[in-house]
Chain A
Amino acid sequence: MTLSSNDNILELRSLSKYYGDVLAVNDISLGIGDGEFLTVLGPSGSGKTTVLLMIAGFEYPSQGEIIFKGKSISFVPPDKRDIGMVFQNYALFPHMNLFDNIAFPLKMRKVEKQEIKRKVAEALELVQLSGYERRTPKQLSGGQQQRIALARAVVFNPAVLLMDEPLGALDKKLREHMQLEIKHIQSKLKRTVIYVTHDQEEALVMSDRIVVMNEGIIQQVGTPNELYEKPNNKFVAGFIGESNFIEGSVVEKNDDILTILMKDQSKQRLKYQGNIIVGEVVRFSIRPEKIFITKEQDNSVDFLEGVIKEVIYVGETTRYKIMIGNQGIINLKEMNTLEGGSKKVGEKVKISWDKKNLIKI
């Protein structure tokens, strides 16, 4: 976990927040670098929004500190923090037109009129809504409102931009489009962004680094690749992407072939690359797309045998649910390329994987 490096523009130190008896945020420490796109990812109730609210100043920490540009801002009122924020429901002022909405922070900072005009025009151009100054929020679609909210939050050049699940209300195609838009704007402006979402795909697409939170605690911090390929624990493995979990105790080890005694008393042989002691109780995770159905008929030991229980066609891919042993279900995802059709329910198959893809957690 990166901490206290002096390149960090924002630092959270042992941050905790109580709501009455409930501990919403539990001892969070995190450093955020200048220009970084950091996503805080987690399910509802994980505390991610509370962290954001504390950074913005709408909640004060019960314990810990927030350091911004070297100074503690933990109890500074929200209007003095100079941090931009885009709200989930956009929070555009309904009684003002778009010009006044975007000009608002500039007026508060007593910027002079000509300058305001220029900056507002700039901001509108940035979000590709030039010429819309006189419209009111009511007249805009959801996607447009979202862009105006973004324009308003960056027009006064805050060093850090907070975004609280801003794309939640948009439909899928629009969301995917906006994800890239936001990313482009961010790299163009070289602004630090702290982005909160529960959508792990969104996090993977947009972030430089991801902080996974659950129940108020940081589960893991890393780049999208790190989190996806090397999850630290079961939660992260299950929350980001999909995972198959294989749990049992090691009864035999032969080079990189392990024999595992599973819960259903069946013994399975797995290819694994790493340090393992016989007798250890282990849990492995492997992603569905890393498993393949073998075509060879030879009897080498690096495959599991199973029966296909369900076949689900999802356009791009086909998913198989394969029963291993007596109860274990393995999910397998296979791209629908041109060669060969899909298997049928009831077929017996052998599945295997590249041993570096099995992860111990």
Chain B
Amino acid sequence: MKRESIRRYSYLQSFLLISPYLILLSIFYLYPLFNLFPESLFKDGNFTLEHYQHFFRIPLYSRILFRTIRISFMVTIFCFLLGYPVAYFLTEIKSQKIGSLFLACVLLPFWTSILVRTYSWVVLLQTNGLINNFLTFTGLIEKPLDLLYSEFAVIVGMVHVLLPFMILPIFSVLKNLDRNLIRAARNLGANYFWVFLMVIFPLSLPGVGAGAMFVFILALGFYITPAILGGPRTLMISTLIDQQINRLFNWDFAAAIAALLLIVTIVMIVAFNKIVGLDKIYSE
């Protein structure tokens, strides 16, 4: 079997290398996902579109859908507003040691359990939790606020979990920015504000795009944080699915909702990919 060169694998070799994982994915991932669609089109053994119709007809479900999208959107915006300055700050640090320390802080969430952290928020936000205690103690409010089990709690929790996903891509892009571009702009007469607006920010957009994509799509399908911090009043799609399966045993309906969420997610991924390009992630 003659090959062209040793620096690239032949078709056969590449195929052999990739097939174990590919097979695993096909059987245990792709097939089940595709199977959602046929499953959702049956009720009591008969083909029907009823589940989908049911979903759209009942306002409750549509509200849940919109709430999910709204919350995801807000989480993304907050992550951007909070995360961009942090990413920028990280590139400004001169000392390597302190820089690594701060970077570790950003990465710390990855090393600790999501469950634990979400659960910490329960403690922080509960009626006699740290935040309420602090606020009443300093006299800013009189009665403890009802922070937990609300949209607010869900947003806070999700921002906390997803913030690193926004910070890291932006940081990565900013760090690799060619300093000479900035020097050239200064040399040509731009002051610091304009340099940021016209050079730094535009060039950082790929990072922002990647971060936004990750955060939004992840937020859409999040389960743990809404489940713990949201309470029964703030159902999101994922918790709705869970409710349908584990409490109401509405399999087919759950399948329909899952299928819908799947379609939305895939559409988002494709759309974002066209705008941002997933290949850029590999520069991380």
Measured CB to CB, the residues of A under 8 A from B are 53, 57-60, 75, 77-78
Contact = CB atoms under 8 A, between A and B. Distances in A.
Interface string B1-27: 011111100000000000000000000
Contacts of A57: 6
Contacts of B3: 60
Given A57-B6, A58-B6, 6 more contacts: A58-B7, A59-B4, A59-B5, A60-B3, A60-B4, A60-B5
Overall SS of chain B's interface: loop
Contacts of B5: 53, 58-60
A77 B5 CA distance: 10
Contacts of A77: 6
A60 B2 contact: yes
A78 B5 CA distance: 10
A53 B5 CA distance: 9
Interface of B: 2-7
B20 to A, nearest CB: 25
A174 B5 CA distance: 34
A263 B2 CA distance: 54
B4 A75 contact: no
14 contacts: A53-B5, A57-B6, A58-B5, A58-B6, A58-B7, A59-B4, A59-B5, A60-B2, A60-B3, A60-B4, A60-B5, A75-B2, A77-B6, A78-B6
Nearest to B6: A58
A58 B2 CA distance: 13
Nearest to B7: A58
Contacts of B7: 58
Considering the complex of A and B, which 9 residue pairs feature the smallest CB-CB distances, nearest first? A59-B5, A58-B6, A58-B5, A58-B7, A60-B4, A78-B6, A75-B2, A60-B5, A60-B2
Contacts of B2: 60, 75
Nearest to A54: B5
A53 B4 CA distance: 12
A58 B8 CA distance: 10
B12 to A, nearest CB: 16
A60 B6 CA distance: 9
A171 to B, nearest CB: 22
A223 to B, nearest CB: 33
Nearest to A78: B6
B11 to A, nearest CB: 15
A58 B5 CA distance: 6
A267 to B, nearest CB: 53
A57 B6 CA distance: 8
A318 to B, nearest CB: 37
Contacts of A58: 5-7
